[in-house]
Chain A
Amino acid sequence: MSEIERYIAPNQLDDALEALAGGPVTIVAGATDLTPQITGGKRVYKATLMNIQHIEGLNAVTKKDGKIRIGSLVTVSEIRGNPMLKKHGGILCQAANHFASEQIRNAATIGGNICNASPAGDMIIPFLVLGAAVELARWQDDRIETRSVPLDEFFTGPGRSVARDDELLTAVIFDVPPENSIGFFRKSGPRPALEISTVSIGIGGDFSDGTLKNVRVAFGAVGPTALRGKLTEAALEGKTLNQDVIQAAALAARQDVSPIDDIRATKWYRTHLIGVFTEELLNNVCQN
């Protein structure tokens, strides 16, 4: 049995990072992933349980110097209802709207959703489409040291990332998308929300005169991590959208992914849906 020897709830980032540097720590914020993982025996508590909810400065959404910064404690509900994000990162709000239930959205944080590193993590997809990077902080030589990791380099496998044990994800940052940018999110399932994605997909880029540029495509639940669709992006970059281009992109999307069979879906169905959703979202782009 795992025993929690210490429970701390620091108000300052320094204290939190110092604690992280000091030994094995289980980090908790909304606990929406942690509790079921503990109950299901997939995780055990480490000696220190650290509640990061009170850390100052991690719960803001700001727009400054051409960057949007979302603190890691910002909840999915806060994203869903944020008017600035609706304007400058609508795909985030779309994904937030399809994220679990309201009860979970109210507790689940962006930092938690990313650090949980689920291949099906719904908020990861829009951030990948927005070209976001995560900010990781740690305690080094008596001060806070931060580094930035592009989100598409962050994940290394299911539940795994490049974040070190002594690092805390403090923010997700992305460039304010240009005026002509578009972004669409789609996840499978007849239920709007309370469902683990069989697959999810996001497509975004700059769209003018029927042409897509700086395209980013991301897929969820079709590989060991959420991933960028490089072939799909190539099939779309600089192209004027028409049915031929859309079909070619849908084909490329199916080649981008390497899903597995599990109880939620077969490889065939996931691949099939990726093609269907790619086509659907691109048609949405055309109609936009």
Chain B
Amino acid sequence: MAEDVAFKHIEKTSLIGKRIKKPDAPAKAIGKTRYINDMVLPQMLYGKILHAGRPHAEIISIDTSEAEKLAGVHLVITAKDTPDLKLGFVKDNAPLKSKVLCERDEVAAVAAESEAIAAAAIKLIKVSYKDLPGVFSAKDGLKKDAPQIQENFPGNKSLKFKFKHGDLAEAEAGSDIILDHVFNVHYVTHCCMGTSCAIADFDHNGKLTIYSQTQYPYNYKMDLAPALGIDPGDIRVIQPTTGGSFGAKLDVYPYEPVAAILAQKTGRPVKVLFDREEEFINSPTRQPAAIHLRTGCTSDGILTFRSADVLMDNGAYTSWGPTVPVIMMRTVSGHYRVPVIDFKAQAVYSNNAYAGSFRGYGNVQMTYATAQHMDMFAEELSEKHGMDPIEFHLKNAQKSGEVTPQKSYLRECVLAECLTTAAAASDYVNKHKTYTEACTEEGRYKRGIGLASSIHNAGGAKIHKSDGCGTILKMDDYARVTVITGASEIGQGIDAVISQIVSEELGVPPEHVTLVNNDSDIGPWDVGVHASRTTFIAGNGAKRAAIKAKKQILAAASKQANVTAEELDLRGGYVVQDKDGAAVIRLDRMLRQMHFQPTPDVVMVSDYYEPNSELEGKDHISDHSAAYSHAVHIAEVVVDTYTGEVKVEKVTMAQDVGRVINRMGLEAQMEGGLAFGLGFALSEEMIFEEGRLLNPSFRDYKVPTAPEMPEIEMHFIESDCEEGPYGAKGIAELPTIVIAPAIANAVYNATGIRFLNPPMSPEKVARAIWEKKQADS
């Protein structure tokens, strides 16, 4: 109806940078969301796994007869039932084991009518073990007489990485100061609030539907298939809502094929769900590492070289953990100009727990070391040469247009702005001076301020042949939009971002955009939620798809309005004149007109966005991400020098976000990411004794609680990334990466003590202060 549009003018507005609510939040707030943990399928059986509970042993015999006799038990399986099925990166793992290589090893599994019966049946399985001497550190694993852990990996040597650039000897000779330290980064784990769960169901054609918490659904098929001996094409992955991921669900772990094997053999759906203790013992960890870092610098404060020799405890099997040097070898430099680099990393098999991917992926470990070296230089140069600490950082800070020796192109680099913004906002230089002077004075409570910075990939990381994401967008006759995207929602908020982007392009409210992204039979390919990539990659994909749809609509509208498509726009649910916003036709009417005509013109578009990055490659010299970003954190702490308690009072962060898309979601990612780094720095630690985890509970593994979190002041620096959607970059890992060394540097500022081995637990800090006092007196 023409009267609908008469005199109606709609101004151009933008949602980009605004605070957008998450579409899935209301259902979560009222508890209506159905998590995988809550799901029950008709005829479903409950699977339970018997874990070895010992680090290294031959399995002499397994007697499952008592368990099989228990009423309600449908099936008991052992490695004998699953020969030749392998999983993992280098296919060194199996769903069920014939030999025990670590505490969590899956020895047998049961499918039963109820969880209680399955748990009872597990206790009836009798296993006779012959314990073997074990390897419980990477160092011990390299010893000549060390027990061999994995048959196919002589000398216990697992993955190995190398990167070399420039003449190290020459650079060392040209250095006035050389720092040389070993940083031991410890075991921590994800602690997703929803424990691990998989539900498997086979149909009569042999096709598996697996309900999974994976954050990597399309590669998951490829990774799961060999563990089941079926074709990846015969797997459908459904992703119900998950209670957290943070990297823990990037790989396939044995409980998933075990659920599938039980389902295949019983012909019934089978659910495997961990309790919290199982979750602690049987989940991946962050990759621990001993980082021997050497860095050189001139007395003018110019960095000359950096060498890093990284030794990693691989644990018994190779998951994503030991691949983290892929990121380490780039972030070892790349925010500061380091002309000469020598990076080596070796992973060594042991009988310990094994690591997976974890938010920050290698860079949490590397930055803990590099950012402390930067602080040590700043301290020394300031003391001996009176150099302003920020000036030292700025001298070495890389700038737009620079290319790192690893061939990372820093197209839009605002590290200097991050440094000056955070330093000014926190009054870093003055406070640092004041606290340094107060450090040696008497007194129980000491204040400190510490600065750290890092770089991370912010436009994906092309470790697969494609780092792309597919999008299918359709509009119905009522101007409602459905976006089928490869990108997964795991609580991080991509659904809100995609709704916002589509809304921005098509002029419909974000609430009118529905996301479909939880079924691999429906969604197009994507490489998963990881590497701070989803807003960048899937956001670009959604934007491109929306632009295609918009072009199609405006082309149709232009015919009707007798103007060119370029003169039209979509705003507020109308086709409008671009120049003055004069409404031409209501969008839903336009779509119906396009649809119901002799040659129907229905809006159904698709897009596959592949970022313009280069494949990581074997020699690791490539521009593997479409963007890189930097962040600076400044932490202010109070140290109780008697009890060793470190209270982080305030964190000032400045991060290159490219461009703010959903401001509220961005803040939330910063705050949440920071909490991970804070727990890593201060309280979280998995304590192992000969391969056994001693603290598998929230009581003894201390994730941060509400009173421990600091005030956070955020500064988003908008570098306007040319390739990113509206200029945005990926953001979610840097907050986890940078905070820990900022705290360590602040603790140094307060106490004069360097903590090379996190966590800075109260006991460790108190002990170090006490020992220093003893030594001083």
Contacts and interface: CB of A to CB of B under 8 A. Distances in A.
B763 A190 contact: no
Contact of B763 (A40, A195, A266): A266
A272 B770 contact: yes
Interface string A185-213: 00011111011101000000000000000
Contacts of B694: 263
Contacts of A269: 762-763, 766-767
Contacts of A194: 705
B762 A264 contact: no
Counting chain A CB atoms within 10 Å of each CB, the highest count among B683, B705, B770 belongs to B705
A198 B682 CA distance: 16
A140 B770 CA distance: 57
Most buried by B among A188, A191, A198, A264: A191
A273 interface: yes
A69 B761 CA distance: 40
Contact of B643 (A188, A195, A268): A188
Given A188-B643, A190-B683, A191-B705, A196 B699 contact: yes
Interface string B687-713: 100000011000110100101100000
A264 B645 contact: no
A40 B700 CA distance: 14
Interface string B263-286: 000000000000001000000000
B644 to A, nearest CB: 8
B642 interface: yes
B647 interface: yes
Contact of A190 (B642, B762, B767): B762
Given A1-B120, A265-B763, A276 B642 contact: yes
Chain A binding surface SS class: loop
Given A190-B762, A263-B694, A273 B643 contact: yes
A40 B643 CA distance: 31
A190 B770 contact: no
Contacts of A198: 762-763
Contact of B708 (A191, A264, A280): A191
B647 A190 contact: yes
Contacts of B682: 190
Given A1-B120, A264-B700, A190 B766 contact: no
Interface residues of B, number: 24
Contacts of A264: 700
A263 B763 contact: no
B696 to A, nearest CB: 10
A40 B766 CA distance: 32
Interface string A255-288: 0000000011110110011001000100000000
B254 to A, nearest CB: 23
Interface string B764-777: 00110010000000
A120 to B, nearest CB: 11
Contacts of B647: 190
Contact of A263 (B120, B123, B643, B695): B695
A1 B643 CA distance: 44
Nearest to B704: A191
Nearest to A188: B643
Contacts of B695: 263
A276 B643 contact: yes
Contacts of B708: 190-191
B762 A263 contact: no
A266 B766 CA distance: 12
A225 B345 CA distance: 48
A188 B643 CA distance: 8
Chain A: number of interface residues, binned into ranges: 20 to 34
Contacts of A189: 645, 762
A191 B709 CA distance: 11
A242 B770 CA distance: 24
Interface in A42-86: none
A190 B649 CA distance: 13
A273 to B, nearest CB: 6
Nearest to A196: B699
Residue of B643, B645, B646 with most partner-chain A CB within 10 A: B643
Nearest to B119: A1
Contacts of A265: 763
Contacts of B762: 188-190, 198, 269
Nearest to B699: A196
Interface in A139-164: none
A192 B707 CA distance: 8
Nearest to B698: A194
B767 A191 contact: no
Contacts of A191: 702, 705, 707-708
Nearest to A262: B694
A103 to B, nearest CB: 13
A195 B647 CA distance: 16
A192 B706 CA distance: 10
Contacts of A188: 643, 762
A263 B687 CA distance: 7
A39 B694 CA distance: 17
Contacts of B123: 1
- Of A188, A189, A190, A194, most B-chain CB atoms within 10 Å: A190
Contacts of B120: 1
A59 to B, nearest CB: 28
A188 to B, nearest CB: 7
Among B682, B695, B707, the one with the most A-chain Cβ atoms within 10 Å of its Cβ is B707
Given A190-B683, A190-B708, A263-B687, A195 B766 contact: no
Given A269-B763, A269-B766, A195 B702 contact: yes
Nearest to B682: A190
A264 B694 CA distance: 10
Nearest to B770: A272
Contacts of B277: 40
A264 B683 CA distance: 11
Contacts of A196: 699-700
A288 to B, nearest CB: 19
A112 B645 CA distance: 31
B686 to A, nearest CB: 10
Contacts of A263: 687, 694-695, 700
B645 A190 contact: yes
Nearest to A273: B643
A48 to B, nearest CB: 21
A269 B702 CA distance: 18
Contacts of B645: 189-190
Nearest to A268: B767
A196 B697 CA distance: 12
A276 B763 CA distance: 13
A272 B700 contact: no
A248 B165 CA distance: 61
Interface in A104-163: none
Interface string B644-664: 011100000000000000000
Nearest to B687: A263
Nearest to A40: B277
A136 to B, nearest CB: 30
Contacts of A266: 763
Contacts of B699: 195-196
Q: Taking each of A192, A194, A264, A269, which has the highest tally of chain B beta carbons within 10 Å of its own beta carbon?
A: A269
Interface of A: 1, 40, 188-192, 194-196, 198, 263-266, 268-269, 272-273, 276, 280
9 contacts: A1-B123, A40-B277, A190-B645, A190-B762, A191-B702, A266-B763, A269-B767, A273-B766, A280-B642
Given A190-B682, A268-B767, A272-B770, 18 more contacts: A1-B120, A1-B123, A188-B643, A189-B645, A190-B646, A190-B647, A191-B705, A191-B707, A191-B708, A192-B707, A195-B699, A195-B702, A196-B699, A198-B762, A263-B695, A265-B763, A269-B763, A272-B766
Interface of B: 120, 123, 277, 642-643, 645-647, 682-683, 687, 694-695, 699-700, 702, 705, 707-708, 762-763, 766-767, 770
The 4 A-B residue pairs whose C-beta atoms are closest, nearest first, are: A269-B763, A276-B642, A190-B645, A263-B694
